[in-house]
Amino acid sequence: MSTTFETIGVMPQIVKALQEIGFSKPTDIQEKAIPLIKQGKDLIGMSKTGSGKTAAFGIPLIEMITPGRGVQAIILAPTRELVHQISIELKKFSKYLSCHIASVFGGVAMNPQIQEMSHAEIIVATPGRMLDHLQRRTVSLSAIKFFVLDEADKMVEMGFIEDVERILSATSVERQIILFGATLSKEIEGIRNNHMHQPVTVEAEMHVKENFLEQYYYNVDQREKFSLLVHLLKKEKRDLVIIFCSKRSTVELLTKNLRLQGIKADMLHGKMTQNKRLHVIDQFHAGKATILVASSVAARGLDIKDVSHVFNYDLAQDPQEYVHRIGRTARAGESGKAITLLGYQDHDTFRQILSRYHLTVHELPKEKYPLLGFNTHFEDRERRDGGFHRGSRFPRDERRPFPPRRRNYSRSMTRD
């Protein structure tokens, strides 16, 4: 007999709301975590982005809060986009219940947030803005029963762990702590040892199942990456597409050059205004925009459905980032394709990826495509950013000081 939300004890009002948004049965992490959280246990959940962890902690929180009794739960997330997304999901889950959720993040006015928190039972917040409110005494967390830390490893990576510790110190020692992340760093182990009471650890599938995700790479001359990308975007049968770049300057230049080729693309990076970022994400969620060029700000946390293709225009230096990027596709049993364009500067990182993770990545043969220009003269600000050399046809990270060395990964691309 397969597990359902009813069999793990989820209340009917939430089950009804889940069914309306297409959640027919719990994912692995939900099945393991929800009963333990409802039992009051401190919990460490190890799962990849896209595994359903928002529902894993959100459903039991909604069930256990008491309406009208003030703030009882706080959820900390590393980015404003993730705070926005979690809040939207929790509101969907609690459609048939009385539950008020406040979104708290920087880049917007504080007074509306103060008003929102005064009526809320659950606060979803970034650490920096939450700390601002605590220092201004515009909110009290002394009666908090539940403390959730989402994307805990990303918190450490972004330098938020001290803020998290300070926020924890403003809560009651009796609160239940729920922590989710893909990895456990020494800083997270410190929270476990210093603040959690006999925590239970649950693990779900950490990577996208390979029977749903096809992974490929092209060896390509650095100067031809853009031409190959345009060719593939026109050739591939696709739904939503995310193209990842490791630098903000590359995101901006690539997006503008795609538009010059008649390809409608939106971009997402950390220097955009908050309203613009949220608008882009909402448009992409709704399918009104189908191609998103993004920096690593979108690689974690954002649950965007129906992404059929992920393109790695270049690779971040951290091999783990590759796993988070490709995890944006092949979700909820749907198939997906991840394609990496390997220029000369990507080979060292790619070799580390293959040595660290059990992945099957196939090389695709060189294709014929028209060579296109890559415009770098859009505005003075980009030249000052150092994204490319003045007068150069290629961004700095696309200039080739020596011929690319072709690497053959045939031995290491299938690992057992």
**Please, which pLDDT band fits residue 325 given cuts at 50, 70 and 90?**
confident
Three-state secondary structure call for residue 44: strand
Is 17:92 a contact under the CB 8 Å cutoff?
yes
Is 347:405 a contact under the CB 8 Å cutoff?
yes
Domain borders along the chain are 12-203, 213-398
Record the pTM.
0.69
Helix 248-260 to helix 225-235 angle (10° resolution) is: 60
**Please, which pLDDT band fits residue 387 given cuts at 50, 70 and 90?**
very low
Higher pLDDT, 381 or 344: 344
Whether the pLDDT of residue 32 is over 90: the answer is: yes
Measured CA to CA, the distance from residue 216 to residue 308 in angstroms comes to: 14
Over the stretch 356-369, which tens digit does the pLDDT of each residue have?
887 889 999 999 99
Among residues 3, 27, 29, 4, which one has the least CA distance to residue 14? Answer: 4
Evaluate whether 12-203 and 213-398 have a shared fold. yes
User: What sign results for the dihedral spanned by CA atoms 139, 142, 147, 149?
Assistant: positive
Burial class (CB in 10 A: 0-12, 13-18, 19+), 73: buried
Domain 12-203 classification at class level: alpha beta
The arithmetic mean of pLDDT across residues 395-410, rounded, is: 46
Whether the pLDDT of residue 158 is over 70: the answer is: yes
213-398 classified as CATH 3.40.50.300 = yes
Instruction: Give the single-character DSSP code of 362.
Output: E
What is the percent of the chain with per-residue pLDDT over 90, rounded to a whole number? 58
What is the percent of the chain with per-residue pLDDT over 70, rounded to a whole number? 86
**Please, which pLDDT band fits residue 408 given cuts at 50, 70 and 90?**
low
Query: What per-residue confidence (pLDDT) applies to 393?
Result: 44
Token code pair at residue 243: 């193209």
Whether the pLDDT of residue 131 is over 50: the answer is: yes
